[in-house]
Chains A and B, each alone.
Chain A
Amino acid sequence: MINLEKALAGRRILIVDDLVEARSSLKKMATILGGDNIDVATDGIEAMSLIHEHEYDIVLSDYNLGRTKDGQQILEEARFTQRLRATSLFIVITGENAIDMVMGALEYDPDGYITKPYTLNMLKERLIRIITIKEELRKVNKAIDLQKYDLAIKYCLEVLDSNPRLRLPASRILGQLLMRQKRFQQALKIYSQLLNERSVSWAKLGQAICIFKLGDPNSALALLNRALVDHPLYVQCYDWIAKILLTLDKPLEAQAALEKAIVISPKAVLRQMELGRIAYENGDMVTAEPAFKYSVRLGRFSCHKSAKNYLQFVRSAQALLINPKERQTQNKANEAFRALTELKQDFSDDKDSLFEASIVESKTHLKMENLDEAKRSANDAEDMLAKLECPKIDYKLQMTETFIETDQSVKAQKMIDELKSAELSDKQIIMLNRLDNDLNGEALKRHSTSLNDQGVSHYEKGELEEAIIAFDQATHYEQAGISVLLNSIQAKISLMERDSPDKKILKNVRSLLIRIGEIAKDDERFARYSRLRKTYDRLCRAAAK
C-alpha cells in the first residue's frame, strides 16, 4: 500500500464542485491528507480551462455540476484532448444514482469513484486504494501515454498473469486497447472470460461491441437490451443500439434509442449531435432542431464546438419557420440568425463555414419572406465563394440554388454553364439537372418577365441606354420569347434613330432578327416585326454611306 501523504505531496490536484461548502470541505480534507498544491473549479468550464492551463496529476470532480458539463464530460474532454495523461488520476464523486453512468463508461472511465456522503476516513481509504491500483498499473499507463499500445497490451497481460487482484482494472484497459487495435476477437475473449465470473456492466457493453464488430449485429443488440434491463440508466448501451440499428437500415428505431439516452443524460454534446443528425436524415426537424440547439449550447465551451452544429441547427430550424407572421416563428428565426452571427464571429477564419453560413442565412430570410435580405446574404455567399481557393462542386451547386431562389437568374445560369463542363458525381449531376430545370422553368420565366418589364419601363421614360441593358439581360436567355427580342430590337433602333447608326449595334440587331427567324403573316406580332425590319434596313444603308 502507498503512503497517502507522500503520494499527494507535490502532486498538482484539481477539485471541481459547484457547491461552495462541498468544495472547501473536500479541499480541506485533501490538505489534511497531504495535498499541498490544490486548485479548485466551480464548474465544468472553469475546470476545463484549468486543465488546459496546467498539467494535473489528480482530478477530483463531482459528477453533477449544475447546468454546465458534468464530471464525466470533463473526464472525456480532458482525455480526448490529451490534456490528462493516462498516468493521471480522475476520480468522480457522486451520489449512487449516477454510478451506473460513471461505472459503465467504457472508453473514458474514471479511475475510481467516491460516493456521497463521505467522511475524511472514507476519503482517505478510498484514495489509498485507487492510487495503489494506479501505481500497480503505472507501466501500462506509461506505455499508453507514449502511444506504445502493443507494449501496453503486453504489460496488461503480464499484470493479469501475476496479479489476479487487478483483474478488473487490467481487463478493462486491455479490452479497450485491443478494440483500439481492432483485435475484436481477442477483446471479446477478455470480456467473455470476465463475464463468466463477474457481472460487470462495462464488460457487457464491450462484449456487445466486439460481437457487432465481428459481424453479428442482432446478437449484439440482444446483449445490449439485456444489459439495459439490469442497468436502465446505462446510456452508452443506447448509443451503441442506435449505431447498430443504423447499420441495419433502421434509422427511425435508431433515433428512438438515442432519444431515450437523451432523456437520461441530456448534456452529452456528441450524443445530441448524433440525435440531430439522425433526426435530420429522418426528416424529423421537430427532434433535430432542439438536438442541434443543445449541441451548439453544450459545445460552446467544449472541444466538440463545431461550425457544423450551428449550420445544422439553422437548417433544421428553417423547416419549422412555417408562418413568418407568428411571433413564435419570428423568435425561432431570430435564434437562428443569432447562431449564425456567433458562427461568423467564432469561425471567422473558416472560409468554408462562412460561405455555408451565408447560404443558410439567405434561405432563412427567404423563409421569413424577406427577399432583399436573402439576396444580400446570397451576395455575401458569392463573395465568400470567390475567396475560396478551390471551391467544392457542392458549394457551387448550393450557390446556384440560392441564386435561383433569390431571383438572380443570370448568375445562376452562368454557374450552371460552368458546372456543366465540370466533372460531377452522379448525385451532383442529378442536382445540377434539377437546378437547370428550375432555372429554365418558373424562375427563369419570372426573371425574364421582370427584366422585360424593367426594360419597358425605362423605354417609356425615354431612358434608352437603361432599357437596352435590361433587354440585353432578358435576351441573354435562349428561352427569351419573340416579344422580348422585338422589345430589345426596338430599344436599339430607337437609340440609333436618336443618335446615329452604329455598326456594332446593327450587328447585334441582326443577330436578334436571325434568332426571331420568320414570322407568319397572320401572327399578331408580324406588323411590328416588319416595321422594325424596314427601319433596320434603312439604318444599315445610312451606316454604309
Chain B
Amino acid sequence: MKQESKFEFLVAAYVHDLKNQLQSLSAQQDTLINELPTEYQLKLTPMLKQTNKIKDDTLRLVSVFRLENKDKFDMGDAWPKDTASNAIESCNLQFPNLSIKNNINHNAQGFYNEQLIQLALVTLITNSAQAGAKQVELSCEEHNSHSLSITIHDDGPGFSQDILDGLADTTKAEGTGLGLSFVEMICQAHQGAAQRGALTIVNAKDGAIATLFLP
C-alpha cells in the first residue's frame, strides 16, 4: 500500500472509531438523563453541550479534510426541512436562549450532501448566536431549474462592512472565526449542470441574511 493511501486509511479508521464512540456516548447520556430525577438533569447540560460540540467539530474536521483533498461528496435527494431540523437540534443545545424557527416547507426537496449542509447551517446559526442574535429564521425557496436556496435570517447586528466587502473573514475573537469560509467551501463543493453552489451574505434592516444557493 502506498504511504499516502495508508495515511488515508488510518485517518478513516480513526474517524470511524471516533464516530462510534460519539454515538455511544450520546446514547449513554440519553439513558442517564432518562434515569435521573428532573432536578439533576440540568446538571448534565454542560456535558451534553460539550459532547455536542465535539460531535460537530469531528464532522467539521472530516469535512475540511475531504474538502481540502478536493474529494467529491456524494449528493443525493435531501429534504431541507429535515436538514434544518437536525441543525436546529444541535444548536438548541448549545444556545438554549436562541429562538430558532424552521419555516421550511415539508415537501421542499434538494440534491445535496446532507451532512455538509447541516454543518453549514449549524455554523451560520452559531455565528448568529455569537453575534448576539435572539432569533433566527430558516426558510427555503425551490427554483425552476431544480436548484434551491436556504436562507438564514437573524435579528442580530448584521455583518460588518469588512466582511461584506470580502476584506476580512471574521471580526470575532472566539472560535476559529473561519465559519463563513467553511460554509463557502461547502457551497462550492456543490455543482450542478453548469452551476456552482454559492454563499451570499447581506444585511437587512433587522439583521443579517445568509443564503446558501445549491444547484
| A230 to B192 CA separation, bound complex (whole angstroms) | 14
| A116 to B58 CA separation, bound complex (whole angstroms) | 11
B residues less than 8 Å from A25 (CB atoms): 23-24, 27, 30
| A104 to B74 CA separation, bound complex (whole angstroms) | 9
Chain B 69-95 interface mask (CB, 8 Å, partner A; 1/0): 001101111010010011001000000
Which range holds the interface residue count of chain A?
35 or more
Which range holds the interface residue count of chain B?
35 or more
> Interface on A for B, CB 8 Å cutoff?
1, 19, 21-22, 24-25, 28, 64, 95-97, 99-100, 103-104, 115-122, 125-126, 129, 165, 168-169, 196-201, 230-232, 263
Q: Please state if B20 and A200 are interface contacts (CB–CB under 8 Å).
A: no
| A115 to B118 CA separation, bound complex (whole angstroms) | 12
Is B16 in contact with chain A by the CB < 8 A criterion?
Answer: yes
B residues less than 8 Å from A97 (CB atoms): 12, 15-16, 62
| A115 to B30 CA separation, bound complex (whole angstroms) | 19
| A278 to B26 CA separation, bound complex (whole angstroms) | 47
Q: Please state if B72 and A230 are interface contacts (CB–CB under 8 Å).
A: yes
Chain B binding surface, main DSSP class: helix
Interchain CB contact (< 8 A) of A129 among B23, B79, B86, B89: B79
Q: Please state if A96 and B24 are interface contacts (CB–CB under 8 Å).
A: no
Enumerate 23 A-B pairs (CB-CB under 8 Å) in ascending A order: A1-B106, A21-B27, A22-B23, A25-B23, A25-B24, A97-B12, A103-B76, A115-B114, A116-B19, A116-B20, A117-B19, A117-B22, A117-B26, A117-B55, A119-B86, A119-B89, A121-B86, A122-B89, A165-B107, A168-B77, A197-B146, A198-B192, A199-B191
A residues less than 8 Å from B62 (CB atoms): 96-97
Q: Please state if A21 and B28 are interface contacts (CB–CB under 8 Å).
A: yes
Is B135 in contact with chain A by the CB < 8 A criterion?
Answer: no
Q: Please state if A196 and B82 are interface contacts (CB–CB under 8 Å).
A: no
**From residue B9, how far is it (CB to closest CB) to chain A in Å?**
9
B residues less than 8 Å from A115 (CB atoms): 114-115
Q: Chain A: which residue is nearest B54 at the CB level? A: A117
| A122 to B115 CA separation, bound complex (whole angstroms) | 11
Q: Please state if A129 and B82 are interface contacts (CB–CB under 8 Å).
A: yes
**From residue A31, how far is it (CB to closest CB) to chain B in Å?**
13
A residues less than 8 Å from B15 (CB atoms): 95, 97
Which B1-38 residues sit within 8 Å CB-CB of chain A? 1, 5, 12, 15-16, 19-20, 22-24, 26-28, 30-31
- List 19 additional A-B contacts (Cβ < 8 Å) besides A119-B86, A121-B89, A231-B72: A19-B20, A21-B24, A22-B20, A22-B24, A25-B23, A103-B74, A118-B23, A120-B30, A125-B82, A125-B86, A129-B79, A165-B107, A165-B109, A169-B77, A197-B192, A198-B75, A198-B111, A199-B75, A263-B5
Of listed A19, A96, A199, A263, residue having the most chain B CB within 10 A: A96
Q: Chain A: which residue is nearest B58 at the CB level? A: A117
Interchain CB contact (< 8 A) of A96 among B55, B79, B82, B115: B115
A residues less than 8 Å from B107 (CB atoms): 165
Is B167 in contact with chain A by the CB < 8 A criterion?
Answer: no
**From residue A32, how far is it (CB to closest CB) to chain B in Å?**
10
Is B173 in contact with chain A by the CB < 8 A criterion?
Answer: no
| A84 to B28 CA separation, bound complex (whole angstroms) | 32
B residues less than 8 Å from A64 (CB atoms): 16
B residues less than 8 Å from A99 (CB atoms): 74
